[in-house]
């Protein structure tokens, strides 16, 4: 069921001095209430003390989730959304409750997600064991908003395993997903030059598995032959699927869980999750500092506004540090 963000900020941020509202939201998330899940994600998107309180309550209730976070990345046109929909169907057939976060481009007007809950996913909208949320990238080059990791934590607290994160598809800058997900698949398709683009971006080195989608097209076998020696040299699994007709998706799901188990048994999963926590902390720090820095830049004296952008940035950072030191 889609986790809507229709709630206004005012409805979420009213007087809650004793924290009872946030506790009710956390209880609703644990009870798998779609409305509570949607509200919880809106709260973390907005940030602030309520978001901190909510995440603290959820972490205390379930401090160590074994649920998989699966990243799906790749250039536009590779069929990531269609493949994500197929994966959701496959996970549901195996009895899993699934979360899906689709990171969309931000609207230049509202800052919200342009595409919204994707039409391809609507066949899952009536399934109470599928939680779907679209989130705006808010202009981040890495393809993820700062609240994406927190939204995944909320879905896990609501019993989702796995949680899929599909990125916006901005090509060479999609590195955030690699830092935040337990496993990341790079989706390619024939005719897009994905192999060359991916190698330039370094995604072949950073992602955990390579997937050639649109396997029903004639060029898929050629792309597979080109990628086989690359995948072998890097020790990464390479699979061919067709999201259109579903062929190969069952094998892909089995490979995902096999890799996940191997990471958990070797200790690599724990190490990666610690790095993910560090990355999330950095994302929030940058997000929270953005507004303050923006105001400082806007209010700089005219003599500074005539300086280079770098000098203006240095002055704003120095002033921010000075103000924090005197507080």
Residues 137, 193, single domain; the answer is yes
Which pLDDT belongs to residue 7?
Answer: 42
In a domain, 130, yes or no: yes
Which pLDDT belongs to residue 214?
Answer: 95
> Which CATH number belongs to the domain containing residue 189 in this structure?
3.40.50.300
Q: Are 72 and 42 in contact (CB under 8 A)?
A: no
In a domain, 2, yes or no: no
Measured between alpha carbons, how far is 280 from 285 in angstroms, rounded to an integer? Answer: 9
Which pLDDT belongs to residue 146?
Answer: 65
Residues 205, 280, single domain; the answer is no
In a domain, 29, yes or no: yes
- CA 186 from chain centre, in angstroms, equals 14
Which pLDDT belongs to residue 202?
Answer: 72
Residues 206, 142, single domain; the answer is yes
Give the E-state strand segments of the chain in sequence order.
69-73, 98-104, 130-136, 163-166, 183-188, 209-212, 238-240
Residues 119, 32, single domain; the answer is no
Which pLDDT belongs to residue 3?
Answer: 57
In a domain, 4, yes or no: no
Measured between alpha carbons, how far is 299 from 305 in angstroms, rounded to an integer? Answer: 9
Residues 150, 288, single domain; the answer is no
Residues 111, 239, single domain; the answer is yes
Which pLDDT belongs to residue 137?
Answer: 61
Residues 192, 96, single domain; the answer is yes
Residues 37, 143, single domain; the answer is no
> What total of structural domains would you count in the chain?
3
Q: Structural domain of residue 139, as residue ranges?
A: 69-266
The rounded average pLDDT for each run of 10 residues, N- to C-terminus, in the chain (327 residues) is: 46 58 95 95 87 89 80 86 93 95 59 44 77 72 65 94 83 64 92 64 82 93 92 94 94 96 93 83 78 89 90 90 79
Residues 45, 74, single domain; the answer is no
């Amino acid at each position: 069921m889609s986790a809507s963000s229709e709630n206004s900020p005012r409805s979420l941020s009213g007087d809650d001095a004793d924290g009872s509202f946030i506790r009710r939201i956390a209880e609703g998330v644990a009870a798998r209430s779609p409305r509570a899940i949607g509200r919880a994600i809106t709260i973390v998107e907005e940030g602030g003390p309520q978001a901190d309180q909510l995440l603290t309550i959820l972490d205390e209730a379930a401090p160590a989730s074994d649920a998989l976070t699966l990243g799906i990345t790749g250039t536009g046109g590779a069929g990531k959304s269609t493949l994500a929909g197929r994966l959701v169907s496959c996970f549901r057939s195996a009895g899993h409750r699934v979360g899906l976060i689709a990171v969309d481009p931000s609207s230049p007007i509202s800052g919200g997600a342009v595409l919204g809950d994707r039409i391809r996913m609507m066949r899952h909208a009536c399934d109470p064991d599928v939680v779907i949320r679209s989130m705006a990238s808010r202009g981040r080059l890495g393809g993820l908003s700062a609240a994406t990791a927190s939204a995944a934590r909320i879905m896990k607290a609501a019993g989702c395993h796995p949680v899929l994160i599909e990125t916006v598809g901005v090509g060479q800058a999609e590195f955030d997903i690699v830092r935040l997900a337990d496993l990341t698949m790079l989706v390619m398709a024939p005719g897009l030059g994905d192999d060359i683009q991916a190698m330039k971006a370094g995604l072949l080195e950073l992602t955990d598995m390579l997937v050639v989608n649109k396997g029903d097209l004639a060029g898929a076998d050629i792309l597979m032959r080109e990628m086989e020696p690359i995948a072998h040299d890097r020790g990464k699994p390479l699979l061919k699927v067709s999201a259109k007709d579903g062929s190969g998706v069952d094998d892909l799901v089995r490979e995902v869980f096999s890799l996940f188990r191997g990471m958990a048994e070797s200790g690599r999963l724990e190490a990666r999750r610690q790095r993910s926590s560090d990355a999330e902390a950095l994302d929030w720090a940058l997000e929270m500092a953005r507004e303050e820095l923006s105001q400082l830049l806007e209010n700089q004296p005219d003599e500074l506004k005539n300086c280079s952008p770098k000098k203006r940035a240095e002055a704003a950072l120095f002033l921010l540090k000075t103000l924090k030191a005197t507080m």
